[in-house]
Structure 1
């Protein structure tokens, strides 16, 4: 039984970090890309996990604890996709339009509601697993350390898997389906090894859940649920594209022939007719103030109008355009816009896929810019804070929102 217990511990750690990562990314869209909310959401997770661990510690040792551990794992896998849907439907239920951002108090309240079931179950599973481990190995004071070790091994593996594979290759409900199937199989192995009546019932339930999850995904029902939840998240808008990159969520809506691009819930660009007033305000005041700009640096947000306005100046010889996310520009060029094609295809435009802060710090001392344009919003999130830091911002840089 110890081998199946360890396997379930590994899967519990893996599923916990995967669920937490997916939900935090979903919450970033709900909270309007405010990365400072990550600390609040993690705090909500820890609060409920601590309460769940407290409840699990009161469970008796032995077979009952093992059954409770299995039941918690199965319930966790089932609640995970429901939590994703709840995040996306939150503004609909609250009567808020999708473009409205939440304040810090609302963010904390929403996070406490959203993370309650999953984090409570995950905390309960830890101490229930400790009781189950003691039931197998006997009380000796080492159960908590061993359980924590195996969960952390699963957590490390899950962190790498979700960050670099799952998030960018499959949608959130497919991730939840895979986690549910994996959790059910691990619970099945442990329930079979228990060799009790309750264990047999849990084994049958685990097998049914694993098969149900596999059939659900094979039939493409998880994809339907994905788009149904997106429709709820962006209620009143036609969403034509929705994907996650390593850095952010990218959504595209269409209305009367116009395409609006959102990154983590915030509008980033509009084509084929751009927001000319915004682009002119960003570009012309600093460039006209300089008089004869030759070398211009654009840090983020340049495609879709800003670079086009810069290139109208006959004195401009080079434009270095820095964009951290290749997937964002890849999405942008998939839609009809002669302006974007002309901007990115102009020989004077040099495109750099890197972080703006890193590009500025690594720039050669010989490379000097007449004007630097920052296409980031005022410092409401971590990315804005990093680029606008006095030690990073080039002297004389022009901020579009000032």
Structure 2
């Protein structure tokens, strides 16, 4: 007997809106938390998305088989509410159980294990809601299941848009992650009670009371367990402050008399740390005969700012710090140091992105010093690229010096380190013919503009150290000769000269980030490190062959053998290709946007909101007009794939030129809307195409699952392989070919008059 429901359509659409809102808020909370307790590079983020989308896709597939939707939904929402805080607690438990913060880098196996286990239940339950909602709307309004699925997708996307904006710009500023997950869990409990009140079950009051008690005790135990596990994660250290910023999760710890600020689990600076502060700036300053104007990007609050001010010739010191909460913590917990800085008329502190500051400042400098982490993310890679070095050169006065440092080793470089350092060297050599370096665990590079090579020898440095009467603990006349031992300098110089590596690091082909990932993987997983190393040696033509030959053969055999209906395979393949391409295009456009305008959180939030807005608009137009635009859905799907293919070719080729335009911001925003529109328009179309021959409503989650699988594959392959190794242009070529192949297959199915038919008219 079919189920009967008495929901108003508006109430259901609002619930679908809350579904998208909830998932996006939790995506942001979980991802930020996951990054904060693990090494937050793109590989770690990729593992998170892999687990999220894998379990969500499986949930969408399996829960589509539920028959009595209305009877089941109250239990599903209640269980989902219990799982939401449990997921956060499970991440924390696994990380603290195996490896406390500060002991060592999290290894690859622990990272992937944590992602897979902690997101398992959450992904299944969240993904399962989509087909359940589609079935509920189908029953309640008598809409076809394909149309109902499109409606759920549209309102989920609208909720995601609002959830992304609200959480990114408001929630994370005013609420702790535990507070957010508890509020979202309570929302699920309320939805459970709402659905339960609409069922015909007896003793509903008793069931609601039991649910309420279980939920209350579960949330109470979550709070106490979280506090215990969080302290265990940081065992050996006292937690002074825990704070969320737009850019990261910050934790200030105390060990004896020293304070360390951690940014996403990575130490940002320690106070006091005179060795780091002195070595970061003094060698560069001593190379210049009379430094007067200095720009320091990052690392200033370790004490480096005060070390710079010790040089008597300094007239102006500009310091750039991206994160406002880092400044806020320093101001609050080190007030004496802060007061010394702001009362010194030579010091100016700028809260902005370093690249953005250099692009817009009219100042020129005797020295530019970057004290940033290694390029372990694509965002940080922008400070080690040829484009960045060219920008710095344009802001240096004649004879000015650019100084930066990257991790290396005291006395020996392995092959991975050689390629890593060589990629960076190849990036600045055409711009700075005169350069020197200082070996060490942190290798320092000194690039000088226009005049003779920097005299990096112990005698000249000691002479200037004494002339300036600098009071230092570690940069001393007896220590400098050891740092500059001729044998060590010769060893590293020969390593640079012998390494044959013709490639350079750029904004649009972030090789330094890629080789830093290999170095990280080498510390935790030889298999992963070896795989990434071998992948770099694969030409683009070879990569196309590896990926597309199996796809081409598989689709070709399916077409000629025809052992199963081809319309289903065509629709699934098309949705996979669109999901893969849209997430990849978003990554490409966002990378180019950050290169052109810096990593400014509010602008990035607007960019992502416009992308989600484009998806909502596309979904709306697809639901409302797809049948009238073209009578045959198959032909329309082919044109969509052709359009995405063309868009991919164009975006990959034109993004670097767009970034160089004077008013490129509006163009990037437009591209975000267009790429989002393609994804939003495609889902209802391919969902309708797939379900037009299906009488079984249990298949309502299949296309949604394949959309997620495509996004999963695209996010990992694009961020870890395609963009770093082959660059933006060839990534666009790859996406264009992928959609072209799938479009040709769909055309062959349609014009071959296979069993696909002309359904969906």
Tell me the TM-score normalized by structure 1.
Answer: 0.89
Measured after TM superposition, the shift of residue 168 of structure 1 is 1.6
Distance in 1 separating the partners of 2:309 and 2:222: 46
Q: Which whole-Å deviations, capped at 9, do the CAs of 1:202-245 have from their partners, x for residues lacking one?
A: 655565567x38x968xxx8765553332122122211111111
2:180 equivalent to 1:175: yes
Structure 1 range deviating more: 7-16 or 17-26: 7-16
Change in 2 beyond 3 A, CA 1:270/1:204: same
Q: Which whole-Å deviations, capped at 9, do the CAs of 1:175-228 have from their partners, x for residues lacking one?
A: 111111222223322322234449777655565567x38x968xxx87655533
Equivalent residue, structure 1, for 2:133:
129
Distance in 2 separating the partners of 1:345 and 1:103: 45
Distance in 2 separating the partners of 1:198 and 1:99: 54
Distance in 1 separating the partners of 2:313 and 2:158: 58
1:68 to 61, 72, 83: 72
Equivalent residue, structure 2, for 1:358:
356
Equivalent residue, structure 1, for 2:452:
none
Equivalent residue, structure 2, for 1:91:
95
Distance in 2 separating the partners of 1:22 and 1:261: 21
CA contact (8 A) 2:56 2:123 kept: yes
Distance in 2 separating the partners of 1:201 and 1:126: 29
Equivalent residue, structure 2, for 1:44:
51
Greater C-alpha Rg = 2
| Residues 170-209 of structure 1: pairs in structure 2 closer than 5 A | 170-197=175-202, 203-204=208-209
Unaligned regions of 5+ residues in structure 2, if any? 1-6, 394-400, 407-442, 444-761
2:119 equivalent to 1:112: no
| Residues 183-262 of structure 1: pairs in structure 2 closer than 5 A | 183-197=188-202, 203-204=208-209, 212=216, 224=224, 226-262=226-262
Distance in 1 separating the partners of 2:333 and 2:56: 44
Equivalent residue, structure 2, for 1:79:
83
- Secondary structure, in 3 states, of the residue corresponding to 2:332? coil
Equivalent residue, structure 2, for 1:29:
36
Measured after TM superposition, the shift of residue 375 of structure 1 is 1.7
CA contact (8 A) 1:361 1:392 kept: no
2:64 equivalent to 1:57: yes
Distance in 2 separating the partners of 1:5 and 1:208: 27
Change in 2 beyond 3 A, CA 1:223/1:50: closer
Measured after TM superposition, the shift of residue 333 of structure 1 is 2.4
Distance in 2 separating the partners of 1:171 and 1:100: 26
CA contact (8 A) 2:100 2:233 kept: no
**Aligned Cα root-mean-square deviation (Å):** 2.5
Equivalent residue, structure 1, for 2:305:
307
Q: How many aligned positions are there?
A: 390
Change in 2 beyond 3 A, CA 1:199/1:146: farther
Distance in 2 separating the partners of 1:95 and 1:259: 21
Distance in 2 separating the partners of 1:121 and 1:199: 23
Distance in 1 separating the partners of 2:136 and 2:341: 62
Distance in 2 separating the partners of 1:139 and 1:338: 67
Q: Which whole-Å deviations, capped at 9, do the CAs of 1:239-283 have from their partners, x for residues lacking one?
A: 111111111111111122222111111112222xx2111111110
CA contact (8 A) 1:300 1:322 kept: yes
| Residues 295-334 of structure 1: pairs in structure 2 closer than 5 A | 295-334=293-332
Measured after TM superposition, the shift of residue 160 of structure 1 is 1.5
Distance in 2 separating the partners of 1:85 and 1:156: 27
Change in 2 beyond 3 A, CA 1:298/1:184: same
Equivalent residue, structure 1, for 2:366:
370
CA contact (8 A) 2:37 2:101 kept: no
CA contact (8 A) 2:291 2:366 kept: yes
Measured after TM superposition, the shift of residue 144 of structure 1 is 0.8
Equivalent residue, structure 2, for 1:14:
21
Unaligned regions of 5+ residues in structure 1, if any? none
Distance in 1 separating the partners of 2:360 and 2:377: 23
Change in 2 beyond 3 A, CA 1:92/1:369: same
CA contact (8 A) 1:181 1:209 kept: no
- Secondary structure, in 3 states, of the residue corresponding to 1:316? coil
CA contact (8 A) 1:283 1:306 kept: yes
Distance in 2 separating the partners of 1:73 and 1:345: 56
Change in 2 beyond 3 A, CA 1:145/1:346: same
Distance in 1 separating the partners of 2:32 and 2:235: 19
Equivalent residue, structure 2, for 1:292:
290
Change in 2 beyond 3 A, CA 1:378/1:287: same
- Secondary structure, in 3 states, of the residue corresponding to 2:302? coil
Structure 1 range deviating more: 15-24 or 100-109: 100-109
Equivalent residue, structure 1, for 2:385:
389
Q: Which whole-Å deviations, capped at 9, do the CAs of 1:309-348 have from their partners, x for residues lacking one?
A: 1111111111111111111111122224644542343211
Measured after TM superposition, the shift of residue 349 of structure 1 is 0.9
Kindly indicate which of the two structures has a greater share of residues assigned to helix.
2
Equivalent residue, structure 1, for 2:625:
none
| Residues 144-159 of structure 1: pairs in structure 2 closer than 5 A | 144-159=149-164
